[in-house]
């Protein structure tokens, strides 16, 4: 009997429900250990990240209650963890339904090595910012992340929170309560009812890729927090002058994707493709 119980508990420890090679137990431990500390504006117009109704193909908001969704998966250098804050509305200027935002961390040998905060991802205003975990003093626990009011871009430094084409503000920051962190599993095996990761109503599925390919690691700042694609900044300074590009995010999709592709090709020509 004892042996049967022991084998059962060992099997539970090794269980890998989302079939990515990382046990449920390790995923849960790492997700909990590295959950960031989020700050939002006290004037935030969409209140808190949303809890999404489980088990449905398309997202439906259950409540705006500070639920964070996470994903942990093995990569050649260790384990990558994504923390998604899903907002029912982008309520900045020219807002829109659904706002899928995230922060990532690369964990190597049990310690965080790099943090990356996505901001206006895949738009001309892309302000992805990154840092070594050491420079953030966040090697063994979550980094501090500022979320811009209404637009919900993520920043690893409060000071950088104005560069997403001038539409980001991290004013009157206050600690955001996190109700729970839910593991969404993987693309082929969603967990906890996260079938909505495949929905075409929001850009969730395309974010289920690694944020730390070799080209990104090569562009990482040695010290402090920096924008990951400095090539974007000259273009952003132009649109910052008109203070309007942020309004076009999500509407001029073809244009922004072409611009992003051109910019990424430039980066890759300098530092090598991923
Ligand atoms: Ca797993
Ligand atoms: Ca996983």
CA of 23 from ligand 1 middle (Å) equals 5
CA of 172 from ligand 2 middle (Å) equals 35
CA of 215 from ligand 2 middle (Å) equals 23
Per-residue pLDDT, 4: 52
Ligand (nearest to CA of 17)? 1
CA of 185 from ligand 2 middle (Å) equals 5
Per-residue pLDDT, 14: 85
Ligand (nearest to CA of 190)? 2
CA of 104 from ligand 1 middle (Å) equals 17
Ligand (nearest to CA of 16)? 1
Per-residue pLDDT, 229: 72
CA of 39 from ligand 1 middle (Å) equals 29
CA of 56 from ligand 2 middle (Å) equals 20
Per-residue pLDDT, 167: 82
CA of 43 from ligand 1 middle (Å) equals 38
CA of 47 from ligand 2 middle (Å) equals 28
CA of 187 from ligand 2 middle (Å) equals 9
CA of 20 from ligand 1 middle (Å) equals 5
CA distance 105 to 178: 18
CA of 27 from ligand 1 middle (Å) equals 6
DSSP labels, the chain: -HHHHHHHHHHHHH--TT-SSS-HHHHHHHHHHT--EEEEETT-TT-SPEEEPTT-SS--EEEES-EEEEEEEEETTEEEEEEEEEEEEE-STT-EEEEEEEEEEEEETTEEEEEEE-SSTTSTT---EEEEHHHHT-SSSPPEEEE-TTT--EESSGGGTTTTTT-----SEEEPP--EEEE-EETTEE-TTGGGGG-TTSS-GGG-S-S--HHHHHT--SSS-EES-TTHHHHHHHHHHHT-HHHHTTTSHHHHHHHHHHHHHHHHHHH---
Ligand (nearest to CA of 31)? 2
Per-residue pLDDT, 93: 74
Ligand (nearest to CA of 70)? 2
Report yes or no: 161 and 173 within 8 Å, Cβ to Cβ.
Answer: no
Ligand (nearest to CA of 183)? 2
Report yes or no: 16 and 185 within 8 Å, Cβ to Cβ.
Answer: no
Rg (CA), the chain: 19
Ranges in the chain, pLDDT < 50: 5-7, 231-274
pLDDT per position as a tens digit, 230-243: 544 334 443 443 33
């Amino acid at each position: 009997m004892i042996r049967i119980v022991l084998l059962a508990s060992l099997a539970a420890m090794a269980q890998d429900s989302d079939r990515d090679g990382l046990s449920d137990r390790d995923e849960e431990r790492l997700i909990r250990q590295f959950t960031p500390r989020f700050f939002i504006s006290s004037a935030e117009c969409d209140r808190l990240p949303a809890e999404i109704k489980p088990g449905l193909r398309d997202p439906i908001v259950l409540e705006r209650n500070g639920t964070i969704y996470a994903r942990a998966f093995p990569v050649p250098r260790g384990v990558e963890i994504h923390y998604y804050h899903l907002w029912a509305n982008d309520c900045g200027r020219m807002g829109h339904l659904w706002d899928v935002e995230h922060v990532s961390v690369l964990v190597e040998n049990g310690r965080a090595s790099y943090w990356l905060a996505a901001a206006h991802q895949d738009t001309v205003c892309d302000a992805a910012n990154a840092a070594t975990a050491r420079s953030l003093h966040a090697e063994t626990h979550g980094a501090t992340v500022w979320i811009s009011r209404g637009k919900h871009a993520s920043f690893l430094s409060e000071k950088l929170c104005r560069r997403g084409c001038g539409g980001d503000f991290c004013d009157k920051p206050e600690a955001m309560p996190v109700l729970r962190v839910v593991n969404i599993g993987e693309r082929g095996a969603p967990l906890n009812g996260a079938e909505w990761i495949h929905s075409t109503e929001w850009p969730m599925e395309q974010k289920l890729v690694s944020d730390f390919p070799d080209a990104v690691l090569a562009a990482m700042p040695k010290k402090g927090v920096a924008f990951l694609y400095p090539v974007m900044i000259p273009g952003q300074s132009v649109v910052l002058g008109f203070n309007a590009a942020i309004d076009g995010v999500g509407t001029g999709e073809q244009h922004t994707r072409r611009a992003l592709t051109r910019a990424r090709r430039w980066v890759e020509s300098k530092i090598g493709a991923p």
